Structure 1
C-alpha cells in the first residue's frame, strides 16, 4: 500500500477553487454552444423564409432540405422537417437579428419552442423570454408560468405602495405581488380553512416560493411576537432579497373586510420594532383572501400609513378550458420532434 503523502498547506482551498473554475468554464462552454445553435437555427429559418418569399419555393423543399442536411451531417441533431419548420417560425417571429443575438440566444432552443407554441403575440413572447432569462427558469417552469398566465397576474394586487414607498421600491414591490395567487398545487378543496391552507403551503414550500416569485425567502410560519406580555402569531413571514425587507403574509378564508388590515398593520409595527434591523427597509404586508371587492380594498388601504397589499388566492385549477385544450404540452412537442428524427435524438 503506497504511503499517504501529507497535503501541503492550502491544498484543499486551492482544489476547491480549481473545481469552481472548471465548473464555471463548463457552464460558459455550454452557454456558448447553445448560443451558436440558436443563431444557426435562426439563420437557417431566415434563409428558408427568404427563398420561399423571393423564389416561390414550396413546403416540399423543407422535406428535401432535411434529407440532404441529415445526409451531410449525420452526427448533428435537429434537422428534421418539423424542426426546420420551427426554425422558419422562429425567424418569422423574431425578425430583428440584433435582438436574437443579444437576448434570445441566451435561452435554450426548447424554451423558444414553448414561446412559439403557447403564446400568440410578440409582446407576450418578449415578456416571458425576459423573465425566463432574468430568473433562469427551466423549460418546464417557463411552460407552467405561461399556462398559469403569470403576465396577466403580475403587479395587479390592490396596494398603497405608490403612496407609502419611494418610487423605485414602490415599482418593484408592486411587480413582486400578483392577483390572484394560484395554490392549486396544494390539492385542497375550495372550502379549505385558513390553518389548513397555511400548513399545506409550508409543506409545499418549493411550489409556494415559485408562485410567490423571485426574491422571496421563507422565514417562518406562526412566528411568535410578544407584545407587552401578550403573544401573537404571524401566519407566514418572508424576507424579500431585492426589496431588502420583511414581508408579512396573512391568510383569510373568506371575503376581504377592512378590519383585516388593522390586524396586519399591527403585525407590521411589531416586526419593524422587534425583528427589523437598521439595514432593513420598512416591512410590507400582504393580505391573501378568498375574494375581495376591489373598491372596498382600495378605500381601506387609502389611509393606511404602512405599505400593504390585498390579493385573492385560488385553491383549484382555473386555467381557461380553451387554453388547456388548444395548446400542446412540451412533452407533445418533444414527442413530435422525436418522431421526425427517426435515428436522431432531440435537436437541443
Structure 2
C-alpha cells in the first residue's frame, strides 16, 4: 500500500527543488546579462580612449569604429557591427563611471536609457525600473507614454524624483494618480465614445497593463462592487488598494463629459467606504473619476477647497507626444503663477 504522506512529501520536495532551480536560473541569466553590459561598456571605453588619443575629428572616430567592426564582425557576428560599436561608445559617454551601472538593468534597458538626454528624467526611469522590477518592454512603454512628464503635471520635479529615489513616500493622491491616464494598451480604436461597461471590461481584461499605468503600490480588489444603502443598490466600477497611501482607491468610469452629478455620486461612494469599509489605521478613501472629457472648473467648484480625496483624470487611448505634454506642463506652470 502506497503511503499518502510520502506522496505528499515528494510533491512538496518537487515544488521546493523546482523553485530553487528557477531562482538559480533567473540569477544566472541576470548575471550573464550584466556581464554583457560590462563588456559593452568596456568596449565603449576602449573605443573612446583610442579616438581621444588620435586626431580630434569626427570622421577619424568613424573610421576607427569602421575598421574595428570590419575586424570583429567576421569573427563574432553582427553584434559587433558599426552601428553596435557606435552604440557602445555612446553607452560609455552617457555612463562614464562603471560603478554607476546597475546589475538590475539589462542591455536592452540601457539602450533605451541612452536616448534620454535630460539627466533628471534618466535618473527617474532608472530608479523606477529597479524599484518596480520593470521588464524592458515595460520600461519602453513608460518612456513612450511620457510617464515622467505626466507626473510633473501635478507634482514638483523634486517630489517626483524623491519618490523615485525612495527618499519619501507619496502622501497625497495627486502624487500617484496621473492626469492624463494613457490606456493605449487596451488596443481600442479611436471613437467618439464607448460604453462605460465596455471600457471597464477591457481594463479588467488587460489588468496587468492597467496596474502598470497606475504605478506604485496598487493591487486590484474588485469590479462592480455592490453597495446596499437603505434599500437601494449601487455598483462601484473598480476598487483598488494602495499600500503606500494605505487606502482604498475607487475608480468610476465616465465616457461622457464630466458633470457635477458624477462627482456627487463618487463622493457618496467614497463616504461609504470611509464609514463602512475603512479600518482605523487606514487613510481616507480616494475617488478617481476616469473620464473621456473633464471640466476642471466644474470639479473645482463642486468640491470643497480643501479636497484631497476626489480627483478627475482624463483618459486617452493613444500615446501622447512628449511635445504635447511639455506644452501642457508649461501651461500649468503659467496658470500657477497667476
Please, what TM-score do these two structures have when normalized by structure 1?
0.75
Contact 1:265 1:306 survives alignment (8 Å): no
Counterpart for residue 194 of structure 2: 192
Counterpart for residue 205 of structure 1: 207
Matches within 5 A, 1:42-81: 42-56=41-55, 57-70=60-73, 74=75, 78-81=79-82
Does 1:32 pair with 2:31? yes
**Stretch moving more, 37-46 or 288-297:** 288-297
Counterpart for residue 143 of structure 1: 140
Matches within 5 A, 1:224-263: 224-263=226-265
Counterpart for residue 125 of structure 1: 122
Contact 1:220 1:236 survives alignment (8 Å): yes
1:284 Cα deviation after fit: 1.2
1:62 Cα deviation after fit: 1.4
Distance in 1 (CA, whole Å) between partners of 2:54 and 2:259 is 66
**Stretch moving more, 49-58 or 230-239:** 49-58
Q: Map Cα deviations across residues 103-159 of structure 1 (whole Å, 9 max, x no partner).
A: 3x4211122222234x3333322222222222222222222222221111126459x
Q: CA RMSD in A?
A: 3.4
Counterpart for residue 345 of structure 1: none
1:13 Cα deviation after fit: 2.5
Size of the aligned set, in residue pairs, is: 308
Counterpart for residue 91 of structure 1: 92
Structure 1 residues 209 and 37 mapped into 2: Cα distance closer, same or farther (>3 Å)? same
Please, what TM-score do these two structures have when normalized by structure 2?
0.77
Does 1:281 pair with 2:283? yes
SS of equivalent residue, structure 1 residue 191: coil
Of structures 1 and 2, the one scoring higher in RCO (CA 8 A, sep 6+) is 1
Structure 1 residues 204 and 84 mapped into 2: Cα distance closer, same or farther (>3 Å)? same
Unmatched segments (≥5 aa) in structure 2:
156-167, 326-338
Distance in 1 (CA, whole Å) between partners of 2:282 and 2:304 is 24
Distance in 1 (CA, whole Å) between partners of 2:294 and 2:85 is 49
Counterpart for residue 183 of structure 2: 183
Contact 1:227 1:270 survives alignment (8 Å): no
SS of equivalent residue, structure 1 residue 225: strand
Contact 2:241 2:247 survives alignment (8 Å): yes
Q: Map Cα deviations across residues 260-315 of structure 1 (whole Å, 9 max, x no partner).
A: 33222210121233333455433211112223344553454443566222211123
